[in-house]
Structure 1
Amino acid sequence: MKQHQRRKKSSDRLINAYLELASEQGVSALTFDNIGLRAGYSRNLAFQKFGSKSGLLASVIDHLHDKMSERRQKQNLGALTGLEGLLLYCDVHFAALEKSADMKAYFILMSESIAAMSEMREQFVGSHKRSATELMRLIRLGRKDGSIRKDVTVDMAAQIIGTQVIGISSQYLIEPSFNLKRARKELHILIRSAYGTDKDELALSKPAETVAGR
């Protein structure tokens, strides 16, 4: 294994250890000692790689965004209309929330940053702006390809969809009996109703290509 591969492997193991601990035990467990031990390394390695807890959190957030982007790309995102891309964005997020501890850890960390009024909040502000950038890209694509109305305000629509995703995710984590599948379907209806066009309605009447979770 080459040196850069070893560095990436150790970083990934430390990030995964961070997410596992956050999901299982909460923020109080996120010490460099615990993270290093869970990953099979020393405390010093975690500190040397990331410099601080803030630096580690930044790497964790980048890691999660990259993973979600990869999952969307695997669902043939490039072949979809802008509106279909928005629905896929929501579906991939909810599938990860339901099946992976990573997204649970993300919301635990976000909630802690709000409750503690900590400097971590700025990292989540940046994370949500990054999500909004992708949503705005899809909305602009939809306005161009005709699947989204031309009069839709790009930035506000992105913020509204983003906050709906955050709210549904939070409710799912708070209330174990919350029906995530029904909420996902309802969100599809709301997005289509609020932003879709007649062209989108015509597409619905034809055999649709498979989109994850739809």
Structure 2
Amino acid sequence: MSETLQAPSPRAPVRRSQAERRDESERRLLEATARVVAEQGVSAATFEAIGRSAGYSRGLATQKFGSKDGLIEALIADLQERQAEMLALHHIDDLAGIEAVLAYVDLYLRHLGDEQATRAYFMLLAGAVADASALRAAFARTHESIKARLAELVVRGQAEGGVRREIDPQSAALMVGSLLLGLSVQWLVDPHIDLDAIRRTSLETLRLAFAPGGQAERLP
């Protein structure tokens, strides 16, 4: 007795939840914001331009973020979360204090030129400072969080004996953060600077500055 083979019925498309659709739209809008700012400048980042770049309407960006400042604050928070994920991926907090500080700087400078989002961040920061915008507070909170993390690593390094005890952890953390901020702005001004040479020099200088014996280790 023969059997009739039937083609399997097509699988019904998987329906995504409202939360999943919301997350995707927010991600695309944040990516579009970074793209528009990095490629066209801060003034070009209107809701209309961002929505068009993301493939959505202007109204969706307004609905989700309320204002341009709200959108930029969301982008800042997103970049901060992504940085924390990258640090966790490289197990920075598992290192000795001084090595963790140097690894943080090393990782930051190795990836400084990789993403449009990083370029957009510093362009938006420069714009907020130039315009005396209320957004300066959002950037200040992010920088304070970074400073606190670096200060903790310096304190740990002092307890372990790898960092000179006379160094003030808060000042040291601010100095490291300011070094990275200054290099980031310089990279915006001149994207062709030799970041690898600057990375090596920065690491050697910081190791020498923090080391109890004042001896810098040559880096590859």
Superposition TM-score tier, normalisation by shorter sequence: 0.7 to 0.9
Structure with the largest fraction of helix: 1
Of 195, 198, 205, the residue aligned with 1:190 is 205
Alpha-carbon separation, structure 1, partners of 2:152 and 2:24: 32
Alignment of 1:163-182 (within 5 A): 163-182=178-197
Secondary structure of the residue aligned to 1:152 is coil
Alpha-carbon separation, structure 2, partners of 1:42 and 1:177: 36
Alpha-carbon separation, structure 2, partners of 1:120 and 1:107: 13
- The one-letter code sitting in structure 2 at the alignment partner of 1:137 is E
- In the alignment, which residue of structure 2 is the partner of 1:211? none
Alpha-carbon separation, structure 2, partners of 1:35 and 1:177: 28
Shift of 1:63: 0.7
CA contact (8 A) 2:73 2:135 kept: no
Give the structure, 1 or 2, with the largest relative contact order (CA under 8 Å, sep 6 or more). Answer: 1
Q: Give TM-score scaled by structure 1 length.
A: 0.87
Alpha-carbon separation, structure 1, partners of 2:137 and 2:171: 20
Secondary structure of the residue aligned to 1:99 is coil
Of 72, 89, 93, the residue aligned with 1:78 is 93
Alpha-carbon separation, structure 2, partners of 1:197 and 1:8: 48
- In the alignment, which residue of structure 2 is the partner of 1:130? 145
Alpha-carbon separation, structure 1, partners of 2:119 and 2:21: 28
Alpha-carbon separation, structure 2, partners of 1:29 and 1:177: 24
- In the alignment, which residue of structure 1 is the partner of 2:53? 38
Alpha-carbon separation, structure 1, partners of 2:109 and 2:146: 14
Superposition RMSD in Å:
2.1
- The one-letter code sitting in structure 2 at the alignment partner of 1:113 is A
Larger radius of gyration between Structure 1 and Structure 2: 2
Structure 2: unaligned runs, 5 residues or longer? 1-15
Alpha-carbon separation, structure 2, partners of 1:72 and 1:100: 16
Alpha-carbon separation, structure 2, partners of 1:23 and 1:144: 42
- The one-letter code sitting in structure 2 at the alignment partner of 1:17 is A
Please tell me whether residue 48 in structure 1 is matched to residue 63 in structure 2: yes
Please tell me whether residue 3 in structure 1 is matched to residue 18 in structure 2: yes
Please tell me whether residue 151 in structure 1 is matched to residue 166 in structure 2: yes
Q: Which runs of 4+ in 1 moved over 3 A?
A: none
Alpha-carbon separation, structure 2, partners of 1:44 and 1:4: 19
Q: Which moved more, 1:168-177 or 1:52-61?
A: 168-177
Please tell me whether residue 18 in structure 1 is matched to residue 47 in structure 2: no
% identical aligned pairs: 33
Shift of 1:27: 0.6
Please tell me whether residue 108 in structure 1 is matched to residue 86 in structure 2: no
